[in-house]
Amino acid sequence: MQTPKWTLGCTLLAALVTPLEMTQAAPQPSSAIPSSLMQVRTNTCEARINPQGLDVLLPRLSWVTASATRGDGQSAYQILVASSPTLLHQNKGDLWNSGKQVSTSNSVAYRGRALASRQKCYWKVRVWNAKNVASAWGAPSQWSMGLLQDSDWKAQWITDPILANTANFPGTFINCYRSQTTARQDELKWLTLDLGKEQPVDSVNIQPARMTGQNHDFASLMYPLRFKIEVASNASFSDARTVVDKSGAD
């Protein structure tokens, strides 16, 4: 009877020990930074990641570093800027090689060869830590230049070629036909239109008048509060006939 109890006790002990041993033997995450080494993380150009079409002649290059050593910091940097990814991969900065610069700054203005419109630039940076140990090169980044000179702009306005010719503008003016303006509310104004011959009139469309030079995109308040419309077959209006009369009240 004693043997089964002893066997059961050993089994429980093994079950308790095994998870503890597995926890102690767990490997470190692959993203951990090696001891005493510094890494270059995010690169930005003009505070953006891989920006395109910059109009800044000397773009500012910035980076973020990380270290597993508490209190560690950057003591120097080196920037390479190349005209192609291949040259950058070969560690050849044909546009700019800053060399090792003793500085804690992680934001530096470009100081290489003059850049042209539409030029593409590829760059990377490495740093030295407080113990003067160099990091690996950071991941490559890029930026492109925009149009830097007025002569670089070759665009044309996209428009209807017919309407672009002022000779093809509609013959009706924006203001159409209107009476003279007045500063008095009770002053009577007439507007007479000669249609040239007797013609049937189905309707009359009255629009708010616009001051000369007023943009037609804005609504006008110059609409008559009182008005009357008459039609006649002669210029003297001897046979005038009233078709609309709104002169009695506003």
Asked if 76 and 134 sit in the same domain, the reply is yes
- From first to last of its 250 residues, what are the pLDDT tens digits of the chain? 444 444 333 333 333 333 433 333 334 444 444 545 899 999 999 999 999 999 999 999 999 999 988 889 999 999 999 999 999 999 999 999 999 999 999 999 999 999 999 999 999 999 999 999 999 999 999 999 999 998 998 887 777 777 677 666 655 445 567 777 777 878 888 888 888 888 888 888 777 776 666 665 555 667 778 889 999 988 888 999 998 998 888 7
Q: Report the number of distinct structural domains present in the chain.
A: 2
**Residue 42 and residue 121: Cα distance in Å, rounded?**
17
68 Ramachandran zone, left/alpha/beta (phi>0; psi -120 to 50) = alpha
- Domain span at 218: 174-250
Asked if 42 and 147 sit in the same domain, the reply is yes
DSSP 144-186: EB---SGGG--------TTTTSGGGS-SS-TT-S-PPP-S-TT
**CA-wise closest residue to 195 among 244, 169, 231:** 231
**95 close to 83: Cβ distance less than 8 angstroms:** yes
**144 close to 48: Cβ distance less than 8 angstroms:** no
Q: Quote the pTM value.
A: 0.52
| Residue 75 belongs to a domain | yes
CATH code of residue 136: 2.60.40.10
Asked if 183 and 145 sit in the same domain, the reply is no
Residue whose token pair is 């005209």:
83
Asked if 141 and 200 sit in the same domain, the reply is no
Asked if 199 and 126 sit in the same domain, the reply is no
| Residue 11 belongs to a domain | no
Angle at 100 between CA 60 and CA 47, to 5 degrees: 15
| Residue 76 belongs to a domain | yes
Domain boundary among 92, 120, 152: 152
Q: What are the backbone angles phi and psi of residue 51, rounded to the nearest 5°? A: -70, 155
Question: Residues near 4 by Cβ (< 8 Å), separated by ≥ 6?
Answer: none
Angle at 56 between CA 54 and CA 59, to 5 degrees: 90
| Residue 85 belongs to a domain | yes
Asked if 141 and 203 sit in the same domain, the reply is no
